[in-house]
C-alpha cells in the first residue's frame, strides 16, 4: 500500500511540474528584458544562437531548435517541420505575439520564406520590455532543411539569427 501511495504522489508531482512548465511558456517573465543590446545581423550575416537580434522594435533570441522536427506530425508533401523556441520582446504597446512572429529564411535560397505556425496561444498582447517564450513551427521544403542555412528573422533582411549551430 505504501509503494502505491508513493507512486501516486510521484505521478502528481510530475504532473504539477509539467503543468507549471506549460503555464510559464506563454506568460511574460517577471523581470524586464536584459539590457544587452541587439547585435547587428542580416540574412547573409546572421547572429549566433543565444544572441539577441532585432528590427523595428521587435527583438528575439533563439534558444533551441529542432531541425527537422518529427514530433509535430505530417507536413505537406515534400516538406518537413522545423521548430524554434525563442524569447521575444517588443518595445511598443498594443502588439500581439502573432503580429511579431519571426519568419524563417534560408541562406541557400534567397527566395525562400516561411510563415510561423504557433504551438500556443499568440493572441495575447505583449507588454513592452518583457520576455515572452514562443514555440514557432515552419514547413520547409525537404531540400532546404539544413540547420546551417536556416535563419530566423524579425525584419525583412535584418534582425536575423541562426536557427541552430
Signed CA dihedral, 26, 80, 114, 153: sign only: positive
CA distance linking residue 101 with residue 123, whole number of Å: 11
Q: How confident is the model over 82-102, as a mean pLDDT? A: 95
Q: What per-residue confidence (pLDDT) applies to 157?
A: 84
Q: What per-residue confidence (pLDDT) applies to 31?
A: 42
CATH class of 2-162: mainly beta
DSSP for the chain, please give it: -HHHHHHHHHHHHHHHHHHHHHHHHHSPPSSBPPSPPPPP-BSSSPBPTT--EEETTEEEEEEEEESS--SS-PPSTTEEEEEEEEEEEESSSSEETGGG--EEEESS-TT-EE--EESS---SEEPTTB-EEEEEEEEEEGGG--TTTEEEESSSSBSEEES--
State the cell numbers at 127.
Answer: 507588454
> Who's near 146: CB < 8 A, 6+ residues apart?
67, 106, 108
How does pLDDT run across 106-125, given as a tens digit for each residue? 999 999 999 999 988 888 99
Calculate the average pLDDT of the chain. Answer: 82
Q: How confident is the model over 44-59, as a mean pLDDT? A: 95
Q: In this model, does residue 65 exceed pLDDT 90?
A: yes
Q: What per-residue confidence (pLDDT) applies to 137?
A: 97
pLDDT above 90: percentage of residues in the chain = 69
Amino acid at each position: 500500500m505504501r509503494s502505491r501511495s508513493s507512486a501516486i504522489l510521484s505521478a502528481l508531482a510530475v504532473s504539477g511540474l509539467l503543468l507549471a512548465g506549460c503555464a510559464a511558456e506563454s506568460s511574460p517573465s517577471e523581470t524586464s528584458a536584459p539590457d544587452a543590446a541587439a547585435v547587428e545581423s542580416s540574412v547573409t550575416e546572421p547572429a549566433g544562437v543565444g544572441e539577441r537580434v532585432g528590427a523595428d522594435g521587435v527583438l528575439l533570441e533563439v534558444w533551441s531548435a529542432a531541425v527537422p522536427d518529427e514530433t509535430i506530425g505530417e507536413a505537406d508533401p515534400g516538406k518537413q517541420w522545423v521548430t524554434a523556441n525563442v524569447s521575444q520582446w517588443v518595445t511598443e504597446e498594443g502588439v500581439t505575439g502573432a503580429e511579431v512572429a519571426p519568419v524563417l529564411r534560408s541562406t541557400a535560397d534567397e527566395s525562400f520564406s516561411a510563415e510561423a505556425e504557433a504551438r500556443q496561444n499568440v493572441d495575447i498582447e505583449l507588454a513592452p520590455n518583457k520576455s515572452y517564450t514562443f514555440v514557432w513551427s515552419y514547413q520547409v521544403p525537404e531540400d532546404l532543411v539544413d540547420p546551417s542555412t536556416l535563419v530566423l528573422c524579425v525584419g525583412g533582411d535584418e534582425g536575423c539569427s541562426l536557427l541552430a549551430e
